């Protein structure tokens, strides 16, 4: 964990869903570097976190209510409060509405694809926010941070079902901020776009996405200067820095909005 301390989150208790890899892993590292206690709720453990006494791992499928209730129970039993949750666990399957190329029907959207993405990206976010908000209302404080995506704000070719789930997350953020503001609970969305590769963006996902977009799957050297004003993909640590700031009291007047972190990219 080579992340630098850059703000004080001393004593904050933060749940990070999907914290074992990708963006979530960087968020956990950043929060720990700034002295927060972290509960990682994921399907699988990250071995690098085992030695750190400030990290508790809870095996949790965010789409299963009993698992989510257990995640909250474990956190309250250990720390007595929840200052923030980062609803980061998410899944994606690039799929076309209709395979109009007629060559790879496996990349046409199925009911199973819809259920898979809906369950984790939408139902999972609702179950986690609901279970955590019950505690935060009692505390009269808390922050709920939802990982949306630029795909959810602008739509993404070959990713309509994923985009839909992330648009829903953006709507939940605005609606829950209106419901929970009276309890001093903030709800904020974070919408990244193209980033350093994570396991979500593995070779198979790139191949599927290239097919759905009619581009060459072998050409992975995109000229980002054409699509991203800052000319490069985002770093996972940059997303993690934003989330650490949103967990902190320095962001105390930010709620009901989704923050674009995309190097200025706003649509394809
Ligand atoms: N990577 C990007 O470029 C990017 C861009 C925009 C938005 N996002 C969003 O950021 C979040 C993280 O993306 P990532 O690229 O780090 O993904 P990832 O696939 O690398 O990691 C996701 C993590 O979530 C966990 N997870 C999956 N299903 C789960 C479930 N049912 N219950 C609990 N945990 C589960 C996985 O085990 C994994 O640790 C997602 O919500 C994604 O939609 C990512």
Q: Give 195 Cα–ligand 1 centroid separation in angstroms.
A: 13
For position 229, what pLDDT does the model report?
95
Residues making up the chain, counted from first to last? 268
pLDDT by residue (tens digit) across 251-266?
A: 999 999 999 999 999 8
190 lines ligand 1 (CB under 6 A): no
Q: 137 — phi, psi (to 5°)?
A: -65, -40
Average pLDDT for the chain: 96
Closest ligand 1 atom to 44 CA: 37
3-state secondary structure of 4: coil
Residues 203-219 have a mean pLDDT of 88
- Separation CA 235–CA 249 (nearest Å): 24
Residue 155 burial (CB < 10 Å; 0-12/13-18/19+)?
Answer: middle
Split at pLDDT 50, 70, 90, the class of 220 is: low
Split at pLDDT 50, 70, 90, the class of 226 is: confident
**Protein residue closest via CA to atom 40 of ligand 1:** 90
> Is the confidence at residue 1, as pLDDT, over 70?
no
Domain ranges within the chain, ordered by starting residue: 13-261
- Separation CA 197–CA 254 (nearest Å): 29
> Is the confidence at residue 127, as pLDDT, over 80?
yes
**Protein residue closest via CA to atom 19 of ligand 1:** 200
pLDDT by residue (tens digit) across 53-112?
A: 999 999 999 999 999 999 999 999 999 999 999 999 999 999 999 999 999 999 999 999
Residues 13-19 have a mean pLDDT of 99
Q: Which CATH number fits domain 13-261: 3.50.50.60, 1.10.357.10, 3.40.50.720, 3.40.50.970?
A: 3.40.50.720
Closest ligand 1 atom to 148 CA: 7
For position 217, what pLDDT does the model report?
76
Are 193 and 234 within 8 A, CB to CB? yes
17 lines ligand 1 (CB under 6 A): yes
- Look at the alpha carbons of 222, 224, 228, 233 in this order and tell me if their dihedral is positive or negative: positive
**Protein residue closest via CA to atom 8 of ligand 1:** 149
Active site residue 224: no
Split at pLDDT 50, 70, 90, the class of 225 is: confident
Compute and round to an integer the Cα radius of gyration of the chain: 18
> Is the confidence at residue 2, as pLDDT, over 90?
no
For position 268, what pLDDT does the model report?
59
Closest ligand 1 atom to 119 CA: 31
Residues 145-162 have a mean pLDDT of 97
């Amino acid at each position: 964990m080579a992340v630098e301390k850059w703000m004080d989150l001393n004593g904050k208790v933060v749940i990070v869903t999907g914290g074992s890899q990708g963006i979530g892993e960087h968020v956990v590292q950043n929060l720990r570097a700034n002295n927060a206690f972290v509960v990682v709720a994921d399907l699988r453990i990250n071995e690098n976190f085992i030695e750190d006494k400030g990290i508790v791992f809870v095996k949790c499928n965010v789409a299963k209510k009993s698992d989510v209730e257990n995640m909250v129970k474990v956190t309250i039993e250990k720390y007595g409060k929840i200052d923030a949750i980062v609803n980061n666990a998410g899944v994606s399957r690039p799929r076309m509405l209709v395979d109009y190329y007629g060559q790879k029907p496996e990349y046409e959207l199925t009911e199973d694809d819809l259920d898979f993405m809906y369950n984790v990206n939408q139902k999972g976010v609702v179950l986690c926010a609901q279970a955590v908000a019950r505690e935060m209302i009692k505390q009269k404080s808390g922050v709920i941070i939802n990982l949306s995506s630029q795909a959810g704000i602008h739509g993404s070719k070959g990713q309509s079902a994923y985009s839909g789930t992330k648009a829903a997350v953006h709507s939940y953020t605005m609606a829950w901020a209106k419901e929970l503001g009276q309890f001093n609970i903030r709800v904020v969305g974070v919408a990244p776009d193209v980033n350093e590769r994570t396991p979500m963006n593995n070779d198979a996902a790139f191949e599927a996405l290239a097919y759905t977009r009619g581009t060459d799957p072998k050409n992975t050297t995109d000229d980002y200067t054409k699509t991203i004003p800052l000319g490069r993909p985002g770093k996972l640590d940059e997303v993690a820095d934003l989330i650490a700031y949103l967990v902190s009291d320095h962001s105390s007047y930010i709620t009901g909005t989704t923050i674009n972190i995309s190097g200025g990219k706003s649509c394809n």
